[in-house]
């Protein structure tokens, strides 16, 4: 199939999922065209059947806001015609499904039929979509997609609860390419980050308020009082400065390392002993799954799709949002005992195998085929 993929090209999980999906589909013989405003961060391989087309938004002083959806829908029209794309897969309802719908209508005027699949990742539903201002656009985009998927059962339920949805929502969970996460990384270079006695705790995100970055610092502070430990903070975002300030106030700044954005996530996870994800909400928690694939247990909140990934008392522990005390106790419980830590690590790795890319990508392939068949039947 010739497939166009639209995503946010940034460090967020949705961009990672879209990129990994496209790359795997290309290995399976499909021709993949990424269409977005920047080259996706994990797209380091452009080959004969992986292409990247940049969406440029011309700056017109007349426009107070430059219209990205307009530029994207025009680009989609051009790319569908030029590369004879058969189906579009857009990640996020707004603005991507919105733009895909417009492209579809424009192409129809020229006698070209292009169905599009929309994958919901969370933020558009739980945070942005539920804002009344965007609700009509999100509802319309979902109901007018040819097929819709959500990355967890929880996100499907949220979508059905918050919007008037007339379309079936298929749950196709996020996935992980386990070959990227070898259990025994040969060149872990743990010694560069901590001494043998210290435990390494890690958090990876875009440091948005929804990630509850201050809870992470407080949990680490509690753990650090009992166990020699270091905290790796990976990512960039609006809460970073406040987090650094809190570390300073609590006197733990020397043991907290802010690594910024990194392309070496697998290396960092390789030497980690525990992952923290106390988010306010999380449609899936891909970062937790990535940690588990590296054999890292997870202390998380019990919201959204996280309980579908992190299993209570097996791969880590889950607590109510904001329950820093309980999260700290559970972290200490896992980290205090070598044998227990080993068992949690093993369980985390085993659980991650359920989400292996080889089990999930065929579900998307099947959905594309069915969607194409249905759209041909309609014409
Ligand atoms: O969590 C973020 O801030 C980034 C956001 C994104 O757009 O990548 O993540 C969302 O999609 C990921 C991939 O499906 C999920 O793993 C994250 O849980 C989800 N984030 C939220 O629901 C807050």
Q: pLDDT tens digits for 241-289?
A: 999 999 999 999 999 999 998 878 888 999 999 999 999 999 999 999 9
Kindly list the protein residues whose Cβ atom lies closer than 6 A to any atom of ligand 1.
Answer: 8, 12-14, 17, 121-123, 126, 151, 174, 206, 208, 210, 281-286
- What would you measure as the largest C-alpha separation in the chain, in angstroms? 68
Two structure tokens written together for 356: 């292996």
Give the residue from 154, 70, 86, 87 showing the smallest Cα distance to 120.
Answer: 154
What does 101-162 look like in DSSP terms, one character per residue? HHHHHHHHHTT----EEEEE-SIIIIIIITSTTTHHHHHHHHHTSSEEEESSHHHHHHHHHH
Per-residue pLDDT for 47 more than 90?
A: no
Mutate to test the pocket of ligand 1, among 6, 7, 18, 121 (most ligand atoms within 8 A of CB): 121
Please give the average per-residue pLDDT across 217-245, as a whole number. Answer: 97
Set out the domains of the chain in order of their start, with CATH numbers. 2-175+357-378 (3.40.50.2000), 178-355 (3.40.50.2000)
- Specify the pLDDT at position 198: 94
Residue 341 near residue 334 (C-beta atoms within 8 A)? yes
State the DSSP H helix or E strand holding residue 173, giving kind and residue range, or none if neither. Answer: none
- Specify the pLDDT at position 128: 64
Q: How confident is the model at residue 130 (pLDDT cuts 50, 70, 90)?
A: low
Looking at per-residue pLDDT, the higher value among 64 and 353 belongs to 353
Q: How far is CA 339 from CA 259, 315, 344, in A?
A: 29, 14, 9
Per-residue pLDDT for 185 more than 60?
A: no
Span from the CA of 205 to the centroid of ligand 1 (angstroms): 9
Radius of gyration of the chain (CA): 22
Per-residue pLDDT for 183 more than 60?
A: no
Which range has the worst mean pLDDT, 7-11, 78-82, 273-277, 295-299?
A: 7-11
- Specify the pLDDT at position 66: 82
- Specify the pLDDT at position 127: 66
What pTM did the predictor assign?
0.94
- Specify the pLDDT at position 228: 97
CA-282 nearest atom, ligand 1: 22
| Cα–Cα distance, 59 to 57 (Å, whole number) | 6
What value does the mean pLDDT of the chain take?
A: 93
Which range has the worst mean pLDDT, 71-80, 192-201, 230-239, 349-358?
A: 192-201
Per-residue pLDDT for 379 more than 70?
A: no
Per-residue pLDDT for 201 more than 60?
A: yes
Within 8 A by CB and 6+ apart from 76, the residues are 4, 6, 35, 88, 99, 100, 103
CA-155 nearest atom, ligand 1: 22
Span from the CA of 331 to the centroid of ligand 1 (angstroms): 24
Span from the CA of 372 to the centroid of ligand 1 (angstroms): 28
């Amino acid at each position: 199939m010739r497939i166009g993929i639209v995503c946010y090209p940034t460090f967020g999980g949705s961009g990672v999922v879209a990129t990994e999906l496209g790359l795997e589909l290309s290995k399976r013989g499909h021709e993949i065209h990424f269409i977005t405003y920047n080259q996706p961060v994990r797209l380091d391989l452009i080959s004969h059947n992986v292409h990247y087309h940049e969406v440029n938004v011309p700056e017109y002083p007349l426009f107070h806001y430059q219209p990205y959806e307009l530029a994207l829908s025009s680009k989609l029209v051009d790319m569908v015609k030029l590369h004879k794309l058969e189906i579009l897969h857009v990640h996020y309802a707004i603005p991507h499904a919105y733009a895909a719908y417009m492209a579809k209508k424009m192409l129809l005027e020229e006698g070209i039929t292009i169905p599009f699949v929309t994958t919901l990742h969370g933020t558009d539903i739980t945070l942005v979509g539920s804002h009344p201002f965007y609700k009509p656009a999100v509802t319309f985009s979902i109901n007018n997609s040819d097929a819709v998927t959500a990355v967890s059962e929880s996100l499907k339920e949220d979508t059905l609860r918050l919007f008037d949805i007339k379309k079936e929502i298929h749950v196709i969970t996020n996935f992980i390419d386990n070959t990227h996460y070898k259990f025994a990384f040969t060149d872990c270079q743990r010694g560069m980050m901590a001494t043998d006695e210290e435990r390494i705790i890690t958090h990876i995100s875009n440091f948005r308020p929804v990630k509850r970055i201050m809870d992470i610092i407080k949990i680490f502070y509690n753990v650090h009082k009992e166990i020699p430990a270091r905290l790796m903070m990976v990512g960039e975002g609006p809460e970073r400065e406040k987090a650094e300030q809190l570390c300073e106030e609590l006197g733990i700044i020397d043991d907290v390392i802010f690594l910024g954005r990194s392309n070496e996530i697998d290396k960092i996870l390789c030497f980690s002993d525990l992952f923290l994800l106390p988010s306010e909400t999380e449609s899936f928690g891909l970062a937790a799954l990535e940690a588990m694939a590296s054999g890292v247990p997870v202390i998380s909140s019990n919201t959204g799709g996280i309980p579908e990934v992190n299993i209570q008392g097996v791969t880590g522990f889950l607590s109510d949002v904001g329950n820093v005390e309980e999260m700290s106790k559970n972290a200490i419980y896992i980290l205090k005992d070598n044998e227990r830590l080993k068992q949690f690590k093993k369980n985390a790795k085993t659980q991650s195998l359920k989400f292996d890319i080889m089990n999930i990508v065929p579900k998307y392939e099947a959905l594309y085929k069915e969607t194409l068949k249905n759209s041909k039947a309609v014409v």
